[in-house]
Amino acid sequence: MTNNNQMQEVINIIDSDHVGVLSTMQGNKPHARYMMFFHDELQLYTATNKTTHKVDEIQDNPNVHVLLGYDHKGDKYIELQGKASIVNDQQLKEKYWNEQLTPWLDGPNDPEYCLLKIDPEHIELVDGNNETTVM
């Protein structure tokens, strides 16, 4: 069972490491790419264009895997498995808009802009000593 300190540690990792790896399933093979993640507690969001392969892949199979936090120094990181869904809520799109997204999207009102919402089902917090806490 997890405690509040472990949950806070996971949230701290998400806060400090916005860029991570999102893996979806393309047919029966994993397809990984770097993404920028936002969150509300343990609820993850990432921005994308509606016409990308990852949107199609999630519509076919919502199971995803996310890695966040590792930076070559043996620091803590998280592995998160969950179910992803496509979100078009304008308030959330404005809340999570970031200017770093402008190479791919025109702004929070871009009709192609959507969010991927990732509902965690399993989280592992791994520290620098390879000790794992399952949440």
DSSP 8-state symbol, 99: G
Q: What's this model's pTM, rounded to 2 decimal places? A: 0.87
pLDDT above 90 as % of the chain: 61
User: What does the pLDDT read at residue 1?
Assistant: 41
Q: Tokens in use for 71?
A: 């930076």
User: What does the pLDDT read at residue 79?
Assistant: 92
Whole-number mean pLDDT of the chain?
88
Amino acid at 92: L
Domain 4-134 coded CATH 2.30.110.10: yes
pLDDT along the chain (135 residues), means of 10: 74 83 93 93 93 94 92 76 96 93 92 96 81 64
**For the chain, what are the domain ranges?**
4-134
Q: Are 125 and 76 in contact (CB under 8 A)?
A: yes
Between CA 102 and CA 92 the distance in angstroms is: 17
Which helix H or strand E contains 7, and what residues bound it? helix 4-16
Between CA 10 and CA 133 the distance in angstroms is: 10
